[in-house]
């Protein structure tokens, strides 16, 4: 749809968009603007310090809204929760990929290593530009990346804080007057073909917005979800549920691994959670919010991200789970497309499923009961065990030793399902170059 969002701001906008904070879907013409005049403070849904959100009637010639005091505004907000809407969401649907798992399973390390590697590698290996769609809302993740990968002193022991259950990583809004609701902050990225991509001419149409969340593991435990803290409702909107399974949280795995690793997480006193129960809880929340019957398998693919593979890699001796399973398909007509070696990824998945079935059979049964399409992916966010820092007693990793394995595979495999941006070893040839520019690129 061509919509004129004030003045001369002419773009092909979506007719409806989804807020990444409260998941409300609304027509694009209902989007609010954020006042900039200092007198216009005290938004009723946010706080007395927040600028008022409003539906504009006056615009500048360049298409920006004017607030009630005549100041020029730049930023947009959701009509329901009043939180910021990145402008790119007016043109491209956000794809939510949810990361689920028990406390300490390794979700934050996985997300941080994955985003860091996507930034480094998508360009050279897939001709895709991966960038922050909203640098302000991505700042916690950016600071985690800095902590692990951009240390001046390579010998420094580094760590990521446990994800908080509430506080600065969440936004408090009053969806009902007088009732504070806690919403998790989304991380938003755009993925766009570069000029080297075989489909560079269709770059605007093929641009995707990725929407990720880093919940505290406690949010996924049975009984934790409540209407005033709907922190996991992204699950029902997720295009791919990524369940982070941590072998070090299972006593049977720990017993098998003590002979092969000295990782402190294998100690007798390590925390243990029933990961099969948390998986089933996740499935029931998805069904509840999506309105699907209790006995129906989930429609979206389920990726079991088996973390901390640096500890347990020797249990899968016949597979290389360290070097990335990617290839490049160079085209005669110009450009290239990055290809994921699906056969290799699926062979590893089958072997990993068989390994887990032998040690944690109830977890594998729960997975089979939950989803129709399942992929098991081994990852290590650090490539090395943490050590206990003497002075603090905390688990930390030496910055120079961090070397993640396969952390981008769950994402790149998912991207290969979207068509035209990432190929797979089975159908890369089927992706043909666009012959006409769809965006003047």
Ligand X SMILES: Nc1nc2c(ncn2[C@@H]2O[C@H](COP(=O)(O)OP(=O)(O)OP(=O)(O)O)[C@@H](O)[C@H]2O)c(=O)[nH]1
Query: Residue 310 binds what, of Zn ion, Mg ion, ligand X, none (CB under 5 to 8 Å, by partner type)?
Result: ligand X
Per the listing, tokens 């509840």 go with 288
Choose the binding region for Mg ion from 26-34, 54-62, 163-171, 245-253 (rule: CB under 5 A): 163-171
Query: Residue 225 binds what, of ligand X, Mg ion, Zn ion, none (CB under 5 to 8 Å, by partner type)?
Result: none
- Nearest distance, CB of residue 348 and ligand X, angstroms: 17
382 binds ligand X (CB under 6 A): yes
Residues 14-53: x where in contact with ligand X by CB under 6 A, - otherwise, as a string: ----------------------------------------
Residues 6+ apart with CB under 8 A from 423: 329, 337, 338, 339, 340, 416, 431
- Nearest distance, CB of residue 256 and Mg ion, angstroms: 26
* 249 contacts 105 by C-beta, under 8 angstroms: yes
Q: Binding residue for Mg ion (CB under 5 A) from 98, 105, 113, 163? A: 163
Give the residue with the Cβ less far from ligand X, 148 or 428. 148
Choose among 428, 364, 375: nearest CA to 406: 375
Phi and psi torsions of 155, nearest 5°:
-90, 0
Q: Binding residue for ligand X (CB under 6 A) from 11, 58, 139, 162? A: 162
160 binds ligand X (CB under 6 A): yes
| DSSP secondary structure, 388-439, as one string | E-TTT--EEEEGGG---BSTTHHHHHHHTTSSSSSEETTTGGG-PPPSS-SS
275 binds ligand X (CB under 6 A): no
Choose among 79, 248, 261, 304: nearest CA to 175: 79
157 binds ligand X (CB under 6 A): no
- Nearest distance, CB of residue 54 and ligand X, angstroms: 37
322 binds ligand X (CB under 6 A): no
| DSSP secondary structure, 225-236, as one string | -BTTB-TTGGGG
271 binds ligand X (CB under 6 A): no
Quote the tokens at residue 201. 């001419």
Quote the tokens at residue 387. 């050590």
Query: Residue 78 binds what, of Zn ion, Mg ion, ligand X, none (CB under 5 to 8 Å, by partner type)?
Result: Zn ion
Quote the tokens at residue 340. 């994921």
Residues 409 and 339: their CA atoms lie apart, in Å, by: 11
| DSSP secondary structure, 170-210, as one string | EEEEEEETTEEEEEEPPEEEEEEE-TTBTTGGGHHHH-EEE
* 9 contacts 62 by C-beta, under 8 angstroms: yes
Give the residue with the Cβ less far from ligand X, 134 or 246. 246
Q: Binding residue for ligand X (CB under 6 A) from 6, 106, 186, 338? A: 106
Query: Residue 385 binds what, of Zn ion, Mg ion, ligand X, none (CB under 5 to 8 Å, by partner type)?
Result: ligand X
The dihedral through the CA atoms of 196, 197, 200, 205 has a sign that is negative
Residues 225-264: x where in contact with ligand X by CB under 6 A, - otherwise, as a string: --------------------------------------x-
Choose the binding region for ligand X from 171-179, 327-335, 351-359, 377-385 (rule: CB under 6 A): 377-385
Residues 145 and 109: their CA atoms lie apart, in Å, by: 9
Residues 92-121: x where in contact with Mg ion by CB under 5 A, - otherwise, as a string: ---------------xx-------------
Give the residue with the Cβ less far from ligand X, 80 or 234. 234
424 binds ligand X (CB under 6 A): no
Quote the tokens at residue 235. 């699950």
- Nearest distance, CB of residue 379 and ligand X, angstroms: 7
Residues 390 and 375: their CA atoms lie apart, in Å, by: 39
Task: Write out the residues near Zn ion by the rule CB under 5 A.
Answer: 19, 21-22, 24, 78, 80-81
310 binds ligand X (CB under 6 A): yes
How far, CA to CA in Å, does 406 sit from each of 88, 111, 210, 270? Answer: 29, 12, 19, 25
Q: Binding residue for ligand X (CB under 6 A) from 28, 118, 311, 412? A: 311
98 binds ligand X (CB under 6 A): no
Residues 303 and 309: their CA atoms lie apart, in Å, by: 16
Give the residue with the Cβ less far from ligand X, 214 or 414. 214
- Nearest distance, CB of residue 265 and ligand X, angstroms: 6
82 binds ligand X (CB under 6 A): no
Residues 345 and 63: their CA atoms lie apart, in Å, by: 48
Quote the tokens at residue 274. 């029933």
Quote the tokens at residue 194. 């570069």
- Nearest distance, CB of residue 289 and Zn ion, angstroms: 16
Give the residue with the Cβ less far from ligand X, 162 or 417. 162
Contact residues for Mg ion (CB under 5 A)? Answer: 107-108, 163
Contact residues for ligand X (CB under 6 A)? Answer: 101, 103-109, 160, 162-163, 216-217, 263, 307-308, 310-311, 380-382, 385-386, 395
């Amino acid at each position: 749809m061509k919509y004129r969002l004030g003045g001369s701001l002419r773009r092909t906008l979506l007719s409806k968009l989804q807020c990444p904070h409260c998941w409300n879907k609304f027509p694009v013409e209902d989007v609010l603007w954020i006042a900039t005049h200092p007198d216009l403070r005290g938004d009723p849904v946010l706080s007395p310090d927040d600028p008022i959100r409003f539906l504009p009637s006056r615009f500048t010639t360049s298409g920006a809204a004017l607030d009630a005091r005549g100041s020029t505004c730049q930023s947009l907000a959701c009509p329901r929760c009043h939180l910021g809407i990145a402008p790119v969401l007016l043109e491209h649907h956000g794809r939510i990929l949810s990361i689920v798992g028990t406390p300490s399973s390794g979700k934050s390390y996985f997300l941080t290593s994955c985003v860091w590697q996507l930034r480094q590698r998508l360009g050279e290996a897939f001709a895709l530009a991966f960038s922050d769609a909203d640098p302000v809302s991505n700042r916690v993740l950016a600071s985690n990346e800095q902590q692990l990968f951009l240390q001046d002193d390579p010998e420094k022991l580094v760590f990521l804080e446990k994800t908080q259950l509430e506080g600065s990583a969440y936004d408090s809004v009053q969806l009902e007057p007088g009732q504070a609701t806690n919403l998790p902050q989304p991380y938003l990225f755009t993925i766009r073909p570069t000029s080297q991509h075989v489909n560079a001419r269709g770059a605007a149409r093929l641009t995707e917005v990725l929407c990720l969340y880093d919940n505290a593991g406690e949010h996924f435990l049975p009984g934790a979800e409540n209407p005033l803290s709907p922190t996991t409702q992204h699950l029902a909107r997720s295009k791919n549920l990524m369940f982070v399974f941590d072998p070090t949280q299972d006593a049977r795995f720990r017993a098998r691994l003590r002979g092969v690793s000295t990782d402190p997480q294998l100690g007798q006193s390590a925390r243990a959670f029933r990961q099969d129960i948390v998986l089933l809880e996740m499935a029931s929340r998805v069904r509840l919010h999506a309105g699907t019957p209790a006995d129906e398998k989930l429609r979206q693919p389920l990726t079991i991200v088996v973390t901390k593979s640096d500890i347990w890699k020797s249990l899968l001796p016949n597979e290389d789970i360290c070097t990335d399973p990617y290839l490049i398909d160079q085209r005669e007509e110009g450009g290239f497309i990055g290809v994921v070696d699906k056969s290799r990824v699926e062979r590893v998945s089958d072997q990993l499923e068989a390994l887990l079935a032998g040690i944690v059979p109830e977890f594998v049964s729960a997975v089979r009961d939950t989803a129709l399409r399942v992929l098991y992916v081994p990852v290590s966010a650090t490539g090395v065990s943490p050590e206990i820092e003497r002075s603090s007693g905390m688990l930390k990793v030496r910055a120079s030793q961090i070397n993640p394995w396969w952390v981008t595979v769950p994402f790149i495999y998912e991207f290969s399902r979207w068509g035209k941006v990432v190929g797979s070893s089975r159908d890369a040839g089927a992706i043909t170059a666009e012959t006409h520019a769809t965006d003047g690129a």
